[in-house]
Structure 1
Amino acid sequence: MTAVQPKPTSVGETFDSLSPATDEVVGTYPIHTAEDVKAAVERARVAAEWWAGLGFAGRAERLKGWKGVLTRRLPQLCQVVRDETGKPIADAQLESVLAIEHIAWAGKHARKVLGKQKRSAGLLMSNQAATVEYQPLGVVGVIGPWNYPVFTPLGSIAYALAAGNAVVFKPSEYTPGVGKWLVDAFAEIVPEQPVLQLVTGFGETGAALVSSGVDKIAFTGSTATGKRIMASAAETLTPVVIEAGGKDPVLVDADADLDAAADATVWGAFSNSGQTCIGVERVYVHEKVHDEFVAKVVEKSKDVRAGSDEAAQYGPVTMPSQLAVIRRHIQDALARGGKAVLGGEDAVGDRYAQPTVLVDVPEESEAVTEETFGPTVTIAKVRDMDEAVERANSTKYGLGSTVFSKSRGVELAEKLRTGMTAINAPLSFAGIASLPFGGVGDSGFGRIHGPEGLREFARTKAIARQRFTAPLTLTSFSRKESTDALVAKLVTILHGKR
């Protein structure tokens, strides 16, 4: 079901990108070698100086032009996404529109977030003028995923570009065509220098990018791969931002809007065939409304169907190997006493996985502890929201989360050990460009999006400038004992109060 993955041992080797719905070849792309990647990074070094020299206003204008191209050619971009992922056009459009919003935000706000800022020098150093600015890192390597091949990588690429860096982008081997489309569109607006370059291939190409001497790596993918990237990057002290997996929970309180919570659960669990790092995988429901909630979820799920036709709500499982993981998690849950109130083992085919809703699943089951990355969801009954928070936090992951509660939404959200929480709406934090995106624990570290995302791709530069000679000379061997005594007295007055 997948193309043969040849080793990149000779110049000119290629690989095919296949439609996961039909196995049809939708494109052929080069396998870039370590030498190819190194050459791309060297070109990016020159391009980075030119790009940084444009300043915030110049870069903002180019980014504005890029998002204009994406917007005007949105149907074309969505078709490329559908060809390589199998997802419905509407879902391809949703992720593309969100990505366009992020390009716009990054370009517009880069100067305000990264420009020179004054800081207080304090009383002892009052003769100094203190400033902080954020300078470009240089060249950023971005390794993108296949599940959201527009939205996710552009969350790093757009912010890295807005901060003044050149970018070398390695898309997933499952979606190289989407990556090429985005890079080609950028080149139309920025033809002067290779500010955004594409390298394609498999794991070897990604590994070459990590060890190529880039100034930072932004990676989205599995926790296991993220650990390998960190280990490799450590050899050259290359900093990384890792956005890895999740096992994201939903909490449903007794006073929740059950229709809204059920609808959010169904969409969050099954959209994109469940292949969403911030998708819904676990739900903890107050015992007073558990049965009613489960009934609503099942009812709303009955008409949700995977397929490649226009009426299907979501498409195939992109990675064939993932079907075995989905099937194993369902089997394990059922073997441990769980029940499938919708779907089950038979819901997993050789290309598509239909919705599965599991209840009474023990917390130690794989379906609860490990990322399934498929259209399944577990629903558990809890005595109160304190138990719900405890169970939700009992995981090695900590990416996204959602709370449905009319009276305690903010309180519960603040208790969840996740990087992001939505209250009374599904995954809303991902669409708000000013909010940082990222996780804790095995979900990774660092942030993309928002001011934090811009600063993630900049180096902090502190500058102290003497405005006039200080009456007390502290940093000199010629200072007098009386100066030390005066400083000690001054510090005591300022900071010695009980």
Structure 2
Amino acid sequence: MTMIRCVSPVNGEVYAEREALTPEQARAAVARAKVAQPPWAARPLEERVALVQDGVRRLNGLGDRVVEELAWQMGRPVRYGGEFGGLNERAAYMGGIAAEALAPMVAEDSARFERRIERAPVGVVFVVAPWNYPYLTSCNTIIPALIAGNSVIHKSASQTLLVGERWVEAFDGLLPEGVFQNVVLDHEGTERLIRERSFGFVNFTGSVAGGQAIERAAAGTFTPLGLELGGKDPGYVMEDADLDWAVDVLMDGAMFNAGQCCCGIERIYVHESLYDGFVDRAVAWTKQLKLGNPLDLSTSLGPMANRRFADTVRAQTAEAVAAGARPLIGREVFPEDDGGTYLGPQILVDVDHSMRVMREESFGPVVGIMPVSGDDEALRLMDDSPYGLTASLWTSDPERAARLGRVLDTGSVYMNRADYLDPALCWTGTKDTGRGAALSVLGYHSVTRPRSYHFRKVKA
């Protein structure tokens, strides 16, 4: 018997535990999903859209419970109210474009021929969700997959073990039995199901090592994969930027959720003419945060989800300081930094790309800030990373931003904003950030496959 446990970062105690499914139980869940999928796909599209959106509304009804559970499981302060704003925006948008995104592409409809391409559901979609934004990230696949006529099997991260149960509660009695299921699996059980070719599509959000394990498990099965892995997202503040706005958004992008954001800002490059002013404002902005218990409404910075995550940030910071970096936030400002999960935020200057903190994923409340002489240096440094999820450009010149964006090796380019997913746009990455497409019309293409029809009409 394998137990999956969530140890709360709030107090270091076990908050929830569940028994992992046996191989036989896991296969039975897949079998139920496969039986349930064809009649679900046969229902009218508008009915599927309505039922899925009803489920999202029911999930909203669990709001207070969900917010408190997230605080206990992964440490996000309750003052931020969970993930419902982005979840509702994405659900509404994906439901609204479903008819267009799934409409047949008609090449010919004449007296002699009918030729078209339809989007067919892939069957059973497996969603392996992360812990940092477990509802927001999983909804990117769950919602279009169900609307497109697939059944879905969801697996929560151990750190947010209860999330899948809330999804089940939201859909219970709305969706036919077997169409949406939550499973509790260890790594071996997850990889076994993938090796056994159980799914028509697998979506995984997590570490690079986790993505590599998923790819190895899928090797030779030809199972399509969507992988969102690591990130080291940069911001570049140009000489014509609105400085106050840039500081406010970039520092929020660096520190929100204790820096545990897929597209959070982890390094900032500032034109030398604005550098001193940016750094001064960034320090003042950061000192206004309050580190503490996430269940306290006055807390704006909660603990990191796990001590080992905090230890990674501490190690990167210590190495950088030993190599010459200068920390600007004294420990006396955030005395609750106790060597455990509660980690005070940090700004580092005098950094360079020989330091891990500027090239490897930190995923915590630390950011390095470097001066640059202009676009050429900024571009070189922004692309000097094994990752490519987003890049944030700060300028009053959209043409300049577009010109720079076209040469950056990244999935999304922002101008004068950061750390946001627009459901109308494709969410994707390059390099070690992974591959695949979520949200937008292309998100529907990930959970469907093209089926071509070529009919020659023979007259008697």
Q: TM-score per shorter chain, which class? A: over 0.9
- Which of 177, 185, 191 aligns to 1:207? It is 191
Instruction: Indicate whether 1:163 and 2:155 are aligned.
Output: no
- Which of 57, 62, 70 aligns to 2:59? It is 70
- Which of 6, 9, 25 aligns to 1:17? It is 6
The aligned counterpart of 2:317 is 330
Structure number with greater Rg is 1
Instruction: Indicate whether 1:457 and 2:447 are aligned.
Output: yes
The aligned counterpart of 1:316 is 303
| Deviates further, 20-29 or 257-266 | 20-29
What do the CA deviations read for 1:374-412 (whole angstroms, capped 9, x no partner)?
100010111002211121012110001211111233333
How does the TM-score come out when normalised to structure 1?
0.86
**What's the offset of the Cα at 1:458?**
0.2
* Aligned counterparts, 1:391-470, within 5 A: 391-407=381-397, 408-428=400-420, 430=421, 432-467=422-457
The aligned counterpart of 1:272 is 257
The aligned counterpart of 2:368 is 378
Note the aligned Cα RMSD (angstroms): 2.1
Instruction: Indicate whether 1:119 and 2:107 are aligned.
Output: yes
* Aligned counterparts, 1:58-457, within 5 A: 58-93=47-82, 95-119=83-107, 128-190=113-175, 192-212=176-196, 213-308=198-293, 309-343=296-330, 349-407=339-397, 408-428=400-420, 430=421, 432-457=422-447
Aligned 8 A contact 1:133 1:460 in 2? yes
How does the TM-score come out when normalised to structure 2?
0.93
What do the CA deviations read for 1:436-464 (whole angstroms, capped 9, x no partner)?
11201100000111111111000111222
Aligned 8 A contact 1:91 1:272 in 2? no
Aligned 8 A contact 2:79 2:297 in 1? no
**What's the offset of the Cα at 1:127?**
5.7
> For residues 112 and 384 of structure 2, what CA distance do their matches in structure 1 show?
52
> For residues 23 and 210 of structure 1, what CA distance do their matches in structure 2 show?
33
**What's the offset of the Cα at 1:357?**
0.3
**What's the offset of the Cα at 1:344?**
7.2
**What's the offset of the Cα at 1:260?**
0.9
> For residues 348 and 356 of structure 1, what CA distance do their matches in structure 2 show?
15
Flag structure 1 segments of 5+ consecutive residues without an equivalent. 1-9, 470-498
Aligned 8 A contact 1:266 1:297 in 2? yes
Letter in 1 for 2:98: A
Aligned 8 A contact 1:402 1:421 in 2? yes
| Structure 1 residue runs of 4 or more that deviate by more than 6 Å after TM superposition | none
**What's the offset of the Cα at 1:18?**
2.9
Aligned 8 A contact 1:70 1:100 in 2? no
Percentage of pairs with the same residue:
32
Letter in 1 for 2:324: G
> For residues 26 and 331 of structure 1, what CA distance do their matches in structure 2 show?
31
- Partner secondary structure for residue 130 of structure 1: strand
**What's the offset of the Cα at 1:331?**
1.4
- Partner secondary structure for residue 353 of structure 2: coil
> For residues 288 and 120 of structure 1, what CA distance do their matches in structure 2 show?
59
Letter in 2 for 1:314: L
Aligned 8 A contact 1:81 1:149 in 2? no
| Deviates further, 34-43 or 166-175 | 34-43
> For residues 364 and 341 of structure 2, what CA distance do their matches in structure 1 show?
12
> For residues 17 and 397 of structure 1, what CA distance do their matches in structure 2 show?
29
**What's the offset of the Cα at 1:92?**
4.4
> For residues 133 and 416 of structure 2, what CA distance do their matches in structure 1 show?
24
Aligned 8 A contact 2:56 2:170 in 1? no
> For residues 380 and 277 of structure 1, what CA distance do their matches in structure 2 show?
22
**What's the offset of the Cα at 1:199?**
0.8
- Partner secondary structure for residue 342 of structure 1: coil
Flag structure 2 segments of 5+ consecutive residues without an equivalent. none
What do the CA deviations read for 1:265-309 (whole angstroms, capped 9, x no partner)?
211111111111110001111111111111110111111132113
**What's the offset of the Cα at 1:104?**
2.2
> For residues 309 and 330 of structure 2, what CA distance do their matches in structure 1 show?
17
- Partner secondary structure for residue 229 of structure 1: helix
> For residues 97 and 404 of structure 1, what CA distance do their matches in structure 2 show?
25
**What's the offset of the Cα at 1:414?**
3.0
| Deviates further, 197-206 or 380-389 | 197-206
**What's the offset of the Cα at 1:353?**
0.9
Alignment CA distance shift 1:464-1:348 (3 Å): farther
Aligned 8 A contact 1:63 1:104 in 2? no
**What's the offset of the Cα at 1:25?**
3.5
Letter in 1 for 2:274: V
> For residues 207 and 92 of structure 1, what CA distance do their matches in structure 2 show?
34
Alignment: residue pair count: 451
Aligned 8 A contact 1:336 1:362 in 2? no
Instruction: Indicate whether 1:26 and 2:15 are aligned.
Output: yes
| Deviates further, 204-213 or 343-352 | 343-352
Letter in 2 for 1:139: V
Aligned 8 A contact 2:89 2:423 in 1? yes
> For residues 111 and 376 of structure 2, what CA distance do their matches in structure 1 show?
50
The aligned counterpart of 1:482 is none
Alignment CA distance shift 1:319-1:210 (3 Å): farther
